[in-house]
């Protein structure tokens, strides 16, 4: 599984951290950015620490085309991140909540973003753990 956003410092790191916590060792989780930034967003990390997820040791990474081909699922987060689809790989886009559009900023904004992503991560994990009927 690969989560992608533009800078790989916020939303994709949050999604990856939440999925790692939820799925433990049952799903291999990666994150990357289309134009990676320099560091993980401090407010993203702070909001995740509040729910027991530590992403402070993560660093933004560029997308590895080989990884895109090797994973089963690629999830882009937000409207700006785009990854060229690959045959045989499931692609999804999560147009995540953007509280700043409603005037909500700072840690309050990040908590709402975290909660939106957490709901989507739980739904995806459930789908991935449910066997397909044959």
For residue 11, give the 3-state DSSP assignment. Answer: helix
For the cut 80, the answer to whether the pLDDT of residue 79 exceeds it is yes
Other C-beta atoms closer than 10 Å to the C-beta of 105 total: 11
For the cut 90, the answer to whether the pLDDT of residue 131 exceeds it is no
Banded pLDDT at 97 (limits 50, 70, 90): confident
pTM of the model: 0.93
For residue 92, give the 3-state DSSP assignment. Answer: strand
* For residues 30-44, average pLDDT: 96
The whole-angstrom separation of Cα 93 and Cα 3 is 10
Domain 2-129 class? Answer: alpha beta
Banded pLDDT at 129 (limits 50, 70, 90): confident
Domain ranges of the chain: 2-129
Banded pLDDT at 14 (limits 50, 70, 90): very high
């Amino acid at each position: 599984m690969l989560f992608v956003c533009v800078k790989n410092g916020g939303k994709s790191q949050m999604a990856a951290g939440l999925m790692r916590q939820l799925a433990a060792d049952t799903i291999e989780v990666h994150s990357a950015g289309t134009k990676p930034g320099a560091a993980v967003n401090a407010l993203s990390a702070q909001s995740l620490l509040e729910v027991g997820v530590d992403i402070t040791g993560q660093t933004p990474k560029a997308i590895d085309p080989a990884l895109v081909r090797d994973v089963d699922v690629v999830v882009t987060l937000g409207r700006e991140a785009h990854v060229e689809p690959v045959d045989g790989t499931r692609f999804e886009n999560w147009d995540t909540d953007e509280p700043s559009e409603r005037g909500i900023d700072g840690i309050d904004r990040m908590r709402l973003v975290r909660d939106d992503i957490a709901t989507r991560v739980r739904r995806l994990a459930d789908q991935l753990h449910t066997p397909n009927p044959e």
